[in-house]
Structure 1
């Protein structure tokens, strides 16, 4: 693969939140595999990674100063690194944990020498040869990079008491309470990266939600919004409230008094004090047990309690949530908005914060014992590198090219490139309130005005009906049938369908929306457009809102909003290729009874503006797309049916893959796709399409900051179109960072593009210009977006798949299959492709 860099665009200098390791370790390191077991003999099963293992290794080093002097660096999982080789025969230790740690008990720790890491091994990481296998588990290059990460992070992770194998730590200063027992904490992220010619530390600010470290009853009061204990007991009698509390608390660590014992909540029980069990062949209640054994009379025997995996029950009033636990479940819309306010940093403030952290005592680089022992040094100044600003492509509407400024354009007095024809349509209203009829009429008038101004033809007014929230689908069906009454059948003799059904949701109308989308996407094959209460009837924002809704309706009804015209060198690539976006979404953390959903969207027109969608269910938390070749083969056949030719190139933009999984993508996705392409070529008796496969990364912490005012937009971010392909990129693969969108709030995040296959050997300029152009074809916006439109669409298709499962499977209810075994075939059989797969239903 060619590693040439791009040349197009205006050169600009930018800062990045990365710091060069100016001096690498000077000493040899010995790498040991750590096995920790309960008991002095080590016959019990191995203890998994976690706080307990970190405590045991810490005690091991404290109790054996002659062996671990200087102290070894431990990654919190399995890897221990030391500059002093442990004597032969001294690789097994008994560790006695005292009561002051958390619990009594003996443990056996066995250390097995795995490898020796010389300074020369670390220097190889910056060469193309050393970077070739980075990310492959247990590979020598990966372990060398792990060593650097562990040395750097050991000090702050231990100081702030966060998991050693995590790359982030958080501080309580400046934390802000959200609702329902959750707080937002600010912190810092640090990650060692091997790039071409140097090794850097990427440092960033970060924010995460944490459980409040309060007593359990206070937390429950917040979660359920109760006034007092009596109200809480009543609330827990409701199945819905109790399920909500269970979902919130399951898996949380609590400290139980007396004894300050740490326990993990497996489940909740109602009326915990009244629960009965046998103790020494005597039947007693939990309340009686606490009175006789702990000399404590329960104040609230009717309050809920916690249940452990062992079945033991503890009353809530004896429990306190252990500090420093991440909340990894979905936040409510209100908490999400509050969380975003806490996590937003202006570009200038963000760069200052990370620079101060590196230069000051927060990271402790200068005085960390592990850093001093290694001889490593980190340059205290952020890297300054050269990038380029690409020229925005032309955006073509009906009257020609529009002026793009700051990544945005204005559609006032413009017509869609291909306006849709609305023969019949309906508006179904589930909102209520004063003068609802007048508010809906005003919204209809404004919406029709915008559609007509943009060139759409609207034959008749909407059929309007009030919907019944208790019978959503029948309400929509009734309005849809009335809207087409009197229209002649279609050319093939089938009854007419409305061009669009607009549904006005009530406040908090998620369940109504779910039923609307299943009716339209799966059952009837009729496009639907939901509008939100408080948006459609807002005098202040109605004009802009109606304009945005018109963009979506035009596409769903078969129109094309705009085309993009990139540089000449890219036009032919777009016209002769099938552009593909792929993504995988997963159920909530810890949920193993729900499948992950894989999606693929593929372009079906020359302008890469219209896409067909495919979805598939696969085992939970599996990132590799099992059926990528099958979905892509179906997409190629559709492309051939539409355009009577196979594409010369299939360009795949793959979302959601971490750097450590590139080798998996190569083995489990790309090779299958290449085999399929050869098979399809033989089927159609033509040369097989060539493959370009690009991973698009969003979940990274690289940021860019303008070095002067000429490279700065109104928000203080770098101008849209910034591309960086030197200074911090991979030493083996072709990759680049592209900040394609204008800044709106906080610090803009560039997308990271990694080219894993480049069959046609497109140049860096061509791939960068193509990727930038595809950020301008997202149909629901009048501005460039942060990732290519097909990637954006694939993500939306994954999310929309929730409505395509059989409702009886209750995909959205994460607690509905507790304890059940995962059955992939059940989920595959219950997932239907949308009846609108070729009609952009997901916009």
Structure 2
């Protein structure tokens, strides 16, 4: 028996840099790229950095390959360089005199291929066949999954002359006894049955979208249903213990880059994010699931294993530790490696606290993290 898997990878589009920049910034025309903000410039630079390109303004340079190091914060007409005689000039004027070429879009930034060497975006094309080694965004991720459909799998299997049997494979296995796990799924008694319920004295709700997309009536209806389970207070004078964030259905980048970063590292307030489609389609079971997440985030306990099955924990003081290191995707030089350690804080090993550090290849601060 063999296991067959299909692997797909993404490539940079072999096209002009201006076309790619338009797509990265979601612009329809070149004119929309006038007065690029610093945030958009950094977004372009992060996408293009280390990308191989070739220049089209000089026939002698067509076979040469250059690697992008950064994107200037000035336009072609405002980026200072030096001509062959050592005289100071701007990039647009240099191309006019040197190559008799008037730039069509002198308001665009330049790319830097090496120190003090600039090229306008409009004379650069991306070299074909370059792997995109970074993490795909949500839209591209869904697309890549969609192209690996069943029909294409069938096509590749036929090319390799593979056949799938109609018979089910039978293997020897053992069945382990299930642990005595205490939890309730009954909506009517969910709060009464939880081992430890944390009180929510003050909380807030933040909606990331316009009132046209998120009517106030729909938000209030969802909150009323959620409050049936929360039974929370609303002390307006106190700092909220929790912020409920309602996101657009494509709010993954907002979740990663802003909400969790600010909540975890700036304000120190617990955040819980939900997608808007769940707000509009209110279901009691979903509200209960949200309540269970809130209880756990505030330090409550939703379930536990019977102490009689964890004698090594309950009979003597014991801490259960879990450690992990995650690394950025290959090619992403803007993000560090992250180490995390979680430790149990009760006799039932059901409540945990965590410590996180930025570091290199191994967990180099383990002793400090477990204090």
Normalising by the smaller structure, the TM-score range is: 0.7 to 0.9
Deviations 1:776-817 (A, max 9, x none): xxxxxxxxxxxxxxxxxxxxxxxxxxxxxxxxxxxxxxxxxx
Contact 1:393 1:564 survives alignment (8 Å): no
Which of 587, 597, 614 in structure 1 is aligned with 2:338?
Answer: 597
Q: Does 1:439 align with 2:218?
A: yes
In the superposition, the TM-score normalised over structure 2's length comes to: 0.77
Distance 1:306 1:263 in 2: 11
Q: Does 1:552 align with 2:293?
A: yes
Q: Tell me what 2:173 maps to.
A: 388
Q: Tell me what 1:581 maps to.
A: 322
Q: Tell me what 2:69 maps to.
A: 266
Distance 1:442 1:247 in 2: 42
Contact 2:187 2:285 survives alignment (8 Å): no
Distance 1:229 1:423 in 2: 51
Which of 33, 38, 43 in structure 2 is aligned with 1:244?
Answer: 43
Contact 2:263 2:271 survives alignment (8 Å): no
> Offset at 1:546?
1.4
- Runs (4 or more) in structure 1 with deviation over 6 Å come to none
Distance 2:161 2:312 in 1: 47
**More RCO (CA 8 Å, sep 6+):** 1
Judged with a 3 Å threshold, the aligned counterparts in structure 2 of structure 1 residues 284 and 235 are, in CA distance, closer, same or farther, namely closer
- Tell me how large the CA RMSD over aligned residues is: 3.8
> Offset at 1:252?
0.6
Contact 1:267 1:307 survives alignment (8 Å): yes
> Offset at 1:324?
1.9
Distance 1:534 1:517 in 2: 22
Judged with a 3 Å threshold, the aligned counterparts in structure 2 of structure 1 residues 308 and 216 are, in CA distance, closer, same or farther, namely same
Q: Tell me what 1:563 maps to.
A: 304
> Offset at 1:241?
2.0
Contact 2:328 2:335 survives alignment (8 Å): yes
Contact 2:340 2:355 survives alignment (8 Å): yes
Contact 2:83 2:94 survives alignment (8 Å): no
Judged with a 3 Å threshold, the aligned counterparts in structure 2 of structure 1 residues 626 and 421 are, in CA distance, closer, same or farther, namely closer
Q: Kindly report which structure 2 residues correspond to 1:732-747, keeping only aligned pairs within 5 A, or say none.
A: none
List runs of 5+ in structure 2 lacking aligned partners.
Answer: none
Q: Does 1:306 align with 2:47?
A: no
Distance 2:170 2:77 in 1: 64
Judged with a 3 Å threshold, the aligned counterparts in structure 2 of structure 1 residues 533 and 631 are, in CA distance, closer, same or farther, namely closer
Q: Tell me what 2:358 maps to.
A: 617
Q: Tell me what 1:331 maps to.
A: 136
> Offset at 1:426?
2.5
Judged with a 3 Å threshold, the aligned counterparts in structure 2 of structure 1 residues 625 and 558 are, in CA distance, closer, same or farther, namely closer
Distance 2:175 2:237 in 1: 47
Distance 1:594 1:449 in 2: 41
Q: Kindly report which structure 2 residues correspond to 1:171-182, keeping only aligned pairs within 5 A, or say none.
A: none
Distance 1:272 1:423 in 2: 56
Q: Tell me what 1:537 maps to.
A: 279
Q: Tell me what 1:627 maps to.
A: 365
Contact 2:9 2:131 survives alignment (8 Å): yes
Judged with a 3 Å threshold, the aligned counterparts in structure 2 of structure 1 residues 299 and 592 are, in CA distance, closer, same or farther, namely closer
> Offset at 1:290?
3.8
Deviations 1:77-126 (A, max 9, x none): xxxxxxxxxxxxxxxxxxxxxxxxxxxxxxxxxxxxxxxxxxxxxxxxxx
> Offset at 1:414?
5.6
Larger Rg: 1
Judged with a 3 Å threshold, the aligned counterparts in structure 2 of structure 1 residues 392 and 327 are, in CA distance, closer, same or farther, namely farther
Q: Kindly report which structure 2 residues correspond to 1:816-835, keeping only aligned pairs within 5 A, or say none.
A: none
Judged with a 3 Å threshold, the aligned counterparts in structure 2 of structure 1 residues 441 and 615 are, in CA distance, closer, same or farther, namely same
Distance 2:266 2:94 in 1: 55
Distance 2:178 2:234 in 1: 37
SS of the residue 1:608 aligns to = coil
Q: Does 1:462 align with 2:234?
A: yes
Judged with a 3 Å threshold, the aligned counterparts in structure 2 of structure 1 residues 611 and 317 are, in CA distance, closer, same or farther, namely same
Distance 2:29 2:152 in 1: 42
Judged with a 3 Å threshold, the aligned counterparts in structure 2 of structure 1 residues 426 and 248 are, in CA distance, closer, same or farther, namely same
Which of 313, 316, 336 in structure 1 is aligned with 2:121?
Answer: 316
Deviations 1:383-436 (A, max 9, x none): x8945264572463356xxxxxxxxxx554563441414262323444552685
Contact 1:205 1:354 survives alignment (8 Å): no
Deviations 1:704-732 (A, max 9, x none): xxxxxxxxxxxxxxxxxxxxxxxxxxxxx
> Offset at 1:284?
4.8
Deviations 1:212-237 (A, max 9, x none): 111111111111222222222x153x
List runs of 5+ in structure 1 lacking aligned partners.
Answer: 1-14, 18-202, 361-379, 400-409, 452-457, 464-478, 482-496, 635-843
Judged with a 3 Å threshold, the aligned counterparts in structure 2 of structure 1 residues 289 and 444 are, in CA distance, closer, same or farther, namely closer
Contact 1:584 1:598 survives alignment (8 Å): yes
Q: Kindly report which structure 2 residues correspond to 1:398-417, keeping only aligned pairs within 5 A, or say none.
A: 411-412=186-187, 415=190, 416-417=193-194
Number of aligned positions between the proteins:
350
Q: Does 1:515 align with 2:294?
A: no
